[in-house]
């Protein structure tokens, strides 16, 4: 049997999350297209020689910037990150993973069950821009407290009355005695940028019949 490689036309650079919920799925997605994304120790760049592809291993929040600036031809990120950054980078395709929702939730004891109950309250979030937009659209004034992560701990520590955070099954919210009462957006992973990754970058081995 002859192995026949159909290399990419140009060297492309793809930005994916270094370490987190998108990482394994992104690696799997690329593998399905013949691109081997394998971390190179602590280096932020690795190369798939078979396809002349460079992989940038970065924080998910930075992926839109890499793509927007042209450093990467494409990247894999959640639509939640795109919404928060407010950028209009073309979405090449919607990927079937990292489904989650950006919700507003509060501890039951705080008796915050609707958007209007948020008036004058403190809301902890890593999504200040999207939250501010939602509050403004609903004529609600509240204090937004920015947290880079671990938002769910804020009410318990007395730092906020409610939170706005990502949730998939709601398990983390339940663990912290919180109930979501409003969904701001639904999110999933997307391939963004200017380069469509061919379905199988490296062709499957062809039978002799095909090669001839």
Residues touching ligand ATP, count (CB under 6 A)? 16
What's 118's DSSP letter? Answer: G
Task: Lay out the site mask for ligand ATP across 128-157 (x = CB under 6 A, - = otherwise).
Answer: ---------------------x--------
- Of 38, 45, 46, 53, the residue nearest 8 (C-alpha): 53
Residues contributing to the site for Zn ion (CB under 5 A): 60-61
Buried b (16+ CB within 10 A) or exposed e, 113-148: eebebbeebbbbbbbbebbeebbeeeebebebbebe
Binding of ligand ATP by 78 (CB under 6 A): yes
Binding of ligand ATP by 64 (CB under 6 A): no
Instruction: Report the DSSP pairing between strands 45-48 and 91-94.
Output: unpaired
Structure tokens at 185: 């957006």
Partner from Zn ion, ligand ATP, none binding residue 17, C-beta < 5-8 Å depending on class: ligand ATP
- Which residue's CB is nearer to Zn ion, number 60 or number 152? 60
Shortest approach of Zn ion to residue 126 CB, angstroms? Answer: 8
Backbone phi, psi, residue 74, to 5°: -155, 170
Instruction: Report the DSSP pairing between strands 100-107 and 178-187.
Output: antiparallel
From candidates 187, 191, 192, 193, binder to ligand ATP by CB under 6 A: 187
Backbone phi, psi, residue 208, to 5°: -55, -35
Task: Lay out the site mask for ligand ATP across 97-126 (x = CB under 6 A, - = otherwise).
Answer: -x-x--------------------------
Specify which residues 191 forms β-bridges with: 76, 93
Binding of ligand ATP by 184 (CB under 6 A): no
From candidates 21, 33, 54, 122, binder to ligand ATP by CB under 6 A: 21
Stretch that binds ligand ATP, among 37-45, 54-62, 107-115, 130-138 (CB under 6 A): 54-62
Shortest approach of ligand ATP to residue 54 CB, angstroms? Answer: 19
- Of 87, 85, 89, 59, the residue nearest 74 (C-alpha): 89
């Amino acid at each position: 049997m002859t192995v026949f490689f159909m290399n990419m036309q140009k060297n492309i650079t793809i930005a994916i999350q270094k370490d987190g919920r998108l990482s394994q799925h992104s690696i799997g997605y690329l593998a399905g297209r013949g691109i081997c994304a394998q971390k190179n120790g602590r280096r932020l760049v690795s190369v798939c020689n078979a396809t002349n592809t460079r992989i940038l291993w970065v924080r998910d929040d930075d992926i839109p910037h890499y793509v927007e600036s042209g450093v990467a031809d494409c990247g894999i990120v959640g639509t939640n990150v795109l919404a928060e950054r407010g950028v209009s980078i073309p979405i090449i395709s919607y990927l079937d993973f990292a489904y989650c929702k950006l919700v507003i939730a509060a501890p039951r004891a705080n008796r915050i069950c609707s958007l209007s109950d948020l008036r004058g309250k403190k809301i902890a979030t890593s999504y200040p821009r999207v939250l501010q937009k939602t509050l403004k659209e609903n004529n609600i004034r509240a204090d937004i407290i920015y947290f880079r992560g671990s938002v769910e701990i804020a009410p318990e520590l007395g730092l906020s009355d409610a939170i706005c955070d990502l949730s998939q099954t709601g398990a983390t919210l339940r663990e912290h005695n919180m109930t979501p009462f409003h969904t701001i957006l639904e999110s999933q992973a997307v391939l963004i940028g200017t380069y469509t990754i061919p379905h199988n970058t490296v062709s499957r081995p062809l039978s002799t019949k095909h090669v001839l």
